[in-house]
Structure 1
């Protein structure tokens, strides 16, 4: 029989918005957490860059230290919310080698070099949990990693970045342009002072890599993910989307291609207005997981913010702490499938293409012939007099049938070269139909 310790020593690496909420929950719920775990969770230190910086009153300043290595060495459970690749990676490997269980919210590190951490935790026989790294408070990692372990996942599709969803939602519902919506997101605390990681899609790409690795038992890094952000989405794109009954969302998509490969991509896409993802507003996230036996599952909730992320972290802390008290260990990395990771060109999708063309007979026939020459057929077409062009120009909006992304991309390049096409105004993929 394993003897329960009186307390487990908990180290916190980082004390920003999320770290502060972790401290708040550990403090406010100390008695309940002790009852759930079988031992008290005692914060023995909080590693920060600047111990003199102002902090929330819930943070005991006596616990602050700038010696993260020494703190890690005297801990049973290490919670990492500092973000970035280094020094987070070095500190977590040190914690694992020292026998500590690790809970992290660091999607950038896991997406970039998760296998190094997984292998180290496996060798050391300790837990590595990371529910908070993907979709904030939404229980998503554990269902994919554990609940669906006996099933065969075929596709993961969804909104995994709250900042971009807020920006696109404001553009759709209030008519703001992208710059205005980003500034508003910053004022409300949804976006960082430097929103690059969000609006360029890098944050979503890291999360997509983590989900794909879990879903398909294959090592997928951020470098394997095709990544496009929302910086190219315009107010006119939003209006065109509405004309065809769509809204624009930044989607993360990981899917099986045949039996031996996967493709993972992040990009803005048109979603039908009656699709559940279209009604995901503000900073919320929603992810569909499709599996052969379970069918289609949807996970929805707050994808970011201090309290929601801290909730996911505490759930992991309780789990790894229970293992420390009662024995046992959580799942290790599963990469046995070792599927190939294909370029986005092999994925099947549809395009919405808006062209500025000469407004005269025969133009549509020439455009249709060019598409047919690339094996791409048209599903719908709309034409209107151009608002910005001259009287002899029109805007032609085409939605294609499904085809390989490589064929669709080649088609767009060919269309741009037609004498009757003055400009390619917009190209967006269509998903969820």
Structure 2
């Protein structure tokens, strides 16, 4: 089976290396040899790994028009021109394997339909969780289940930042700078720290789990830029750890709750121990109960492993496509959660009664209150609510923020228990 590889960056180089190193073992498993015939690059003069010699091209049609190439492996990244190359490959009857979460999250419905029409496979295991097998289990191993809920830590960069903030007492800005120096964060970290990367992955997982087509723009997304070392400290005192959680659940009314948001999770929660650049995904099905998928969510060889596994599935003629209905996404304000709230307020009698009065008027009661004196006449107040309708909480916080005794509403974070 001959492959056209589009992209020879970190993941592409890993794919080449893995096929070269494990080619004999793969051949024994599938009964045929896998060969990379052509590799598309932007700069033909750039120094490349030795295994790529003699296969380099800058013309995509050297791959797309080659009748011997059975599979196009796209690991270029970015939305364009990857989307156009994938479409062209599918129309020409070639199977496509990709690690491109942006293209799959935004255009998966169109590409899946196109692949069905042309009787080819579109496989994208590496688009979520790097080397963690999650797409294939949802499609096959768990296909007999009704999936109730899916949630997890889907971005290694944000998990690394939050872990370091907790372990070392550093600020978000300080850890981000270190992460960029170490290569854990991009020079422009927007996709990661603002939650967009996790939202793209969640859109893919929700589509597969609930058979409802979801696009990232439908998902309420809040990143970690506003998380301070003070929030980390208070979370620890209250018995929690802050993680950026991606969450999806299909309600009985057919509406999908889907969001990406910082969450305070209990130390008994299995996601609490997922630290550094690692990812984890919790899936609950009606037959299997609760499962956890854990591992490195990115990196050369873990991602290459998922890409090559998809190529092997193509060789084994494993069908890949599914039909999905459009999802009806529940507005974030209609969801229910406990919340952590950090306020900065004048340190004087009567302030707490005003705050609790506003919350009480919206039907919001409190689990705990922590008040600590800070600079001058102001105090920092930390509240944990009981379960509250988010619409009511937002309304109450708007009113609280307008009280003359309140300097600012500094932080609002969802809170989860043990599960």
Shorter-normalised TM range: over 0.9
Partner Cα distance (1:41, 1:157) in 2: 35
Deviations 1:164-207 (A, max 9, x none): 11111111101222222122222332222322211121111100
Match of 2:122 in 1: 128
The counterpart of 1:357, out of the listed 342, 345, 348, is: 345
Contact 2:12 2:75 in 1 (8 A): yes
1:65 has 2:57 as partner: yes
Partner Cα distance (2:138, 2:23) in 1: 29
**Secondary structure in 2 aligned to 1:382?**
strand
Match of 2:386 in 1: 401
Match of 2:372 in 1: 384
Partner Cα distance (1:12, 1:108) in 2: 18
1:210 has 2:204 as partner: yes
Match of 2:152 in 1: 158
TM-score w.r.t. the length of structure 2 is 0.96
Uncovered stretches (5+) of structure 2, i.e. residues with no partner:
none
* Deviant stretches of 4+, over 3 Å: none
Cα offset, 1:292, TM superposition? 2.2
1:371 has 2:359 as partner: yes
The counterpart of 1:264, out of the listed 254, 258, 263, is: 258
Aligned counterparts, 1:164-313, within 5 A: 164-313=158-307
Deviations 1:18-39 (A, max 9, x none): 1101000011111111111211
Partner Cα distance (2:392, 2:382) in 1: 18
Match of 1:15 in 2: 8
TM-score w.r.t. the length of structure 1 is 0.93
Partner Cα distance (2:320, 2:73) in 1: 18
Contact 2:198 2:260 in 1 (8 A): yes
Partner Cα distance (1:186, 1:197) in 2: 14
Partner Cα distance (1:401, 1:256) in 2: 23
**Secondary structure in 1 aligned to 2:407?**
strand
Q: Tell me the matched-pair count.
A: 416
Cα offset, 1:77, TM superposition? 0.8
Match of 1:37 in 2: 30
Cα offset, 1:362, TM superposition? 2.7
Partner Cα distance (2:371, 2:185) in 1: 37
Cα offset, 1:432, TM superposition? 4.3
Match of 2:410 in 1: 425
Partner Cα distance (1:99, 1:431) in 2: 47
Cα 1:192–1:420 shift into 2, 3 Å: closer
Cα offset, 1:393, TM superposition? 2.8
**Secondary structure in 1 aligned to 2:355?**
helix
